[in-house]
Amino acid sequence: MVHEEAETRSRMLVPARRLLAGVSTLLATGAIAYGVMPAKADSHATPPAVVGTLVTTSPDDPNLKWGPCPDIFPKGCEVTVLSGDPANGAADVYLRATAGTKLEGHWHHSPEHVVLVKGKFSVTFDDGRKASLEQGAYTLIPAGLPHSAACEGPEACVIFIGFERPVDALLAASGR
């Protein structure tokens, strides 16, 4: 009886070990594919030359230069560039909207990496899905996906948006 139990446990461990080996291989392959490899404990590689400027800020920084949002958005919407060149390439911006501001249906040629910094903000997509963001929440809006947005709480909203390509905002056909 003891021998049979040991044999059964042994047979059960073989598939589990194979599964674990397969998962380990997939994780390693994914890490290689995305360039994420664990650093060696004794590695002392020289970092590459620094390119760009270190930026540390918050939406309350008095040195930020706020300007109006694109014309398709209402008054009460402002934007400031944190880094990059919004006309020619990738850029990071803050967008600030007064409470109750609604940004009509629009889309962008670039994906948007959005993080809510302050307030309560929602994004509604043309297919009916809605992302309600609380402070610190992230959403990725794919390029070309029409959406509208609103600052929903009693206070102004600030969102961080990372654009991968030049920044634009085009009115969606639905106009929502």
The residue extents of the domains of the chain are 1-43, 67-171
Q: Three-state SS for 67?
A: strand
Higher pLDDT: 46 or 136? It is 136
Q: What is the DSSP letter of 44?
A: -
What average pLDDT does the segment 61-66 reach? 95
The vertex-81 CA angle with 92 and 57, nearest 5°, equals: 80
> What per-residue confidence (pLDDT) applies to 31?
43
What is the rounded distance in angstroms from the CA atom of residue 112 to the CA atom of residue 95?
12
Q: How confident is the model at residue 38 (pLDDT cuts 50, 70, 90)?
A: low
> What per-residue confidence (pLDDT) applies to 63?
94
Instruction: Please write the tens of the pLDDT for every residue from 91-148.
Output: 999 999 999 999 999 999 999 999 999 999 999 999 999 999 999 999 999 999 999 9
**Mean pLDDT of the residues in the chain:** 82
What is the rounded distance in angstroms from the CA atom of residue 125 to the CA atom of residue 112?
13
What is the rounded distance in angstroms from the CA atom of residue 92 to the CA atom of residue 83?
5
User: What would the CATH number be for the domain defined by 67-171?
Assistant: 2.60.120.10
Which among 166, 156, 26, 150 is positioned nearest to 85, based on CA atoms? 166
| Residue linked to tokens 């209402």 | 74
> What per-residue confidence (pLDDT) applies to 174?
63
pLDDT of residue 47 exceeding 80, the answer is: yes
Task: Give the distance from CA 146 to its chain's centroid.
Answer: 17
